[in-house]
Amino acid sequence: MEDKNSNKQTRQQTTIADIAKLAGVSVSTVSRVLNNSTEVSKTTKKKILKLIKEYDYTPSELARGLVTKTSKTIGLLIPNLLNPYYVELIESIEKFVSSQGFSLFLCITDAKEEKEKYYINEMLRRRTNGLVMLSTNIKDHDLIKKVKKSMEIVSVEADIEDVDKISVTNEKGTYDVINHLIEYGHKDIAFIGYRFSLSGLQQRFTGYQRAMEEHSIPIRPEYVIEGEGTGNSGYTMTQRLLELPNPPTAIHCMNEHLAVGTYLAINEYGLRIPQDISVTAFDNLASSNILKPRLTTAAMPIREMGEAAADLLIRNILEGSKQVKQEIIFSTKLILRESTRRLDCP
Amino acid sequence: MEDKNSNKQTRQQTTIADIAKLAGVSVSTVSRVLNNSTEVSKTTKKKILKLIKEYDYTPSELARGLVTKTSKTIGLLIPNLLNPYYVELIESIEKFVSSQGFSLFLCITDAKEEKEKYYINEMLRRRTNGLVMLSTNIKDHDLIKKVKKSMEIVSVEADIEDVDKISVTNEKGTYDVINHLIEYGHKDIAFIGYRFSLSGLQQRFTGYQRAMEEHSIPIRPEYVIEGEGTGNSGYTMTQRLLELPNPPTAIHCMNEHLAVGTYLAINEYGLRIPQDISVTAFDNLASSNILKPRLTTAAMPIREMGEAAADLLIRNILEGSKQVKQEIIFSTKLILRESTRRLDCP
DNA sequence: TTGTAGGCGTTATCAT
DNA sequence: ATGATAACGCCTACAA
C-alpha cells in the first residue's frame, strides 16, 4: 500500500502499439484506421475500432506533431481581457479556430514587452503554427522575422512590418461621427481615449482632428484627454471635462468601454443625455445595448474581423502564406441612435 | 524562382543534432547544457550556448514532452468570457500558471455539452497536464473518471464528484447581504439571477431563502427572477420588477454583472439609489467601481481564488494528487457602501 | 566531462 | 490489405 497518496505513476497511457498487439496487427494498420488513409479490411477495422473504444485509446498529438510537423495550435497574444471588445473578438476567433481543429494558447501580456517576449518564446518552443496578435505593437522587427520563420502571423489593428493585418477604417469611422456632431451644431467636442500610440487608435484621433480641421474648428487641448482603456478611466476623464469652466457640449469616446464610464459620470452630475450633452463612441458592442439612451456610434464588424483573422491565419498555415503582406480593411458604419442632439433646434 | 508565393517548405527548424554537429560534440552534451543537468566543461558549454544563440535554436517542447511525458500545458474550460468575474479569474490564473512555465489552452464551451466534450477530447489528445473548470458542471462521471486518469482537475465553483474544488461561502455571503437589508427594514426584497442549477449559484439563492425564512418573511414568487448572466438580462429583470404593482424596496443581484443592468434600469425609471430603492450584489469586482452610488456587496476574493486554483492544480501535477478530494473554501465579506438605505429613518 | 544507444508514440516509405 | 523499418527531436541511463 505504498504511495497511497500519489497517483503520479498511474499516468501510463495506452498507445498505438498496445492496440496493435491487442488486435494482433501491426501499428501501421492501426495508424491507417486512425487516419483512414489507405483502405483497411472491414473486419480488422471493426476490431481495431472496438479496441480503441474499449481501452479509451487517444492518439498523442505530441507524437503525431513530431512527425507531421504541426501542432494544430495557435497563440493568441493579447494585452488583457477587460475590454468587451477583446472578448467579442476572442470569442469569434475561438469559434472559427476550433471549428478547424486548432487550439488556442491564451497569452495575456498586460502590454508588457517582457511578457510578450516570454510568450513568443513559449510559442516557439511549443511549435505553435500561428500567432494572432490583438492590439499589440511589437517594435522589435528582428523578433518578428525570427517568429515568421516558424509560424504564420496575423495582426488585428496593429500595423507591423511584413505582418498580415486585419483592420477597420478607424479614421473614417471617427471622422463620420465627429462630422455628425458638427452637423448637429456642436463645436465644443471633446475626445477621450488611450494608447494613442497604437496605430489603430491613433487613426481614430486623426479622424477627430481632420473633421475638426475641415470645419475650421480649433481643437481645445483641454478637450482631448488620454487616459487608460477602462470604464473607470472613461468615468474620470468625463468628470474632468464636466468640471471644466466651459465644458464641452459633446463627448466622443474612442471606444465604448470608455463610454460606460462617461454615461455614469454624466448621470451622476445630474445631466441628461442628449438634452444636456451628446455622447458618441466607436465599436458597437453587443454589451453596449445596456446604455440608455442608445449610443450613436461608429460600428465596426468585430466578429467578422475576428473570423477573418482566424480564417486568413489558418489558410496561410495550411496553404503557405503569400510573400506579399495581406491587409483586410473592414468598413465602419455610422449608426445614429439617441445619444446626440441638434444644438440649434432643441 | 519557383514557389515564390509560398514559404511553407522553409519551415525547417534547426535541431539539437544540428547544434551538436556544429559544436563537434554529441547531442547528449547539448542536451546537458540545455537542461544544465550534469556539469559540462566551461569551454564547450560556452561554445554550445553561442551556437544556440547564433542559430536561434529553440528546443521542441513536443519532442521533449514525448519523452518526459509532460506538456506543461493546462486547459481552461469556461462557458464564455462576458462576465467580468471570469475575466478577473482568468487573469489571475494566467498569471500564476505562466509564472510556473505552464501554458493555457483556452476552451470556450458556451455551456454546451457538445463543446465541452470536444475540448476535453482535444486536451486528452494533446496530453494536457491539467484542467481547470470554471463554472462548468460535468454530469457525465464516466468522462470525469476517464479524464482524471490522464490529468489533474480542479473546479472553481462547480461541485463535481472526486474533483478538487475552489469555492466561496456563497450561501453565507448572500445570507449576510439579505440580512443587512432586513436589518435596514426591508421586507420586499427581490432576488434576480441565472443558472440556478449550478451548485455555487444555487447556494446563493439558498442564502436568500434562509435569511428570509429566519425572519419569517414570505418570499413572493414574482420577486424571484431567473434570467441570463448578462448585463442586459439584469436590465430586463429589473424592469420587470419595477413594473410590478408593488415593486420591491430592495433588489439583490446574484452577481455584479447583473447589477450594472439593474443600475441602468433604475436610473432610467427616474428612481434614485438608495433613496427610492436599495441594491445589493455579490462579487466585488474591480470593474464595479464604476457604479455610483458604490455598491454594497458580498465580496469574494476572486484573484486569490484563481491563484489558489492554479496553485493546487500545478502542485498536484508536480507532486501527484492526494487520493482524497481537496476543497478550499474562501470566505465572503460583507462590504457596506452606499447602495442601501434604512427604510425606517429616512 | 563526454559519447553511445535505446526509447518516447506516431507517421510514412517501402516492401510483401 | 498489411508489415517492417526508418524517421521526427529530444532525454536518459549506461559506458567510457
Cα–Cα distances in angstroms (integers) from residue A272 to residues A258, A316, B12, in the given order: 18, 50, 62
B88-CA/D10-C1' distance, Å:
37
- Residue B321 banded pLDDT, cuts 50, 70, 90: confident
Cα–Cα distances in angstroms (integers) from residue A193 to residues A187, A234, A238, B120, in the given order: 19, 8, 11, 40
Q: How many CB atoms lie within 10 A of CB B333?
A: 14
- Residue B3 banded pLDDT, cuts 50, 70, 90: very low
Please choose, from the candidates B257, B219, B262, the residue with its C-alpha nearest in 3D space to the C-alpha of residue B238. B262
Q: What is the pLDDT of residue A346?
A: 53
Q: What is the pLDDT of residue A287?
A: 87
**Taking CB atoms and an 8 Å limit, are B56 and A146 in contact across chains?**
yes
CA A153/CA A131 separation, integer angstroms: 5
**Taking CB atoms and an 8 Å limit, are B118 and A98 in contact across chains?**
yes
Cα–Cα distances in angstroms (integers) from residue B315 to residues A12, A207, B68, in the given order: 19, 52, 17
The answer to whether strand D lies under 7 Å from the CB of residue B25 is: no
pLDDT of residue B4 exceeding 60: no
DSSP designation for A288? G
A38-CA/C14-C1' distance, Å:
15
Q: What is the least distance, in Å, from the CA of A326 to any CA of chain B?
A: 12
Point out the residue nearest to D3 (C-alpha to C1'): A26
Given a contact cutoff of 8 angstroms between Cβ atoms, the answer to whether B215 and B178 are in contact is no
pLDDT tens per residue across span B144-171: 999 999 999 999 999 999 999 999 999 9
The answer to whether B295 contacts chain A (CB < 8 Å) is no
pLDDT tens per residue across span B98-120: 999 999 999 999 999 999 999 99
Give the max Cα distance, chain B. 88
B108-CA/C12-C1' distance, Å:
35
CA angle B292, B298, B303 (to 5 degrees): 95
pLDDT of residue B6 exceeding 50: no
The answer to whether strand D lies under 7 Å from the CB of residue B16 is: yes
Q: Which residues of chain A have pLDDT under 50?
A: 1-9
Mean pLDDT across chain B = 93
Please choose, from the candidates B159, B204, B210, the residue with its C-alpha nearest in 3D space to the C-alpha of residue B328. B159
Given a contact cutoff of 8 angstroms between Cβ atoms, the answer to whether A168 and A330 are in contact is yes
Q: What is the pLDDT of residue A1?
A: 29
Averaged pLDDT, B200-220:
97
DSSP designation for B246? S
**Element housing B11 (H / E):** none
The answer to whether B111 contacts chain A (CB < 8 Å) is no
**Residue among A94, A106, A322 whose CB faces B94 most closely:** A106
Please choose, from the candidates B251, B257, B256, the residue with its C-alpha nearest in 3D space to the C-alpha of residue B278. B251
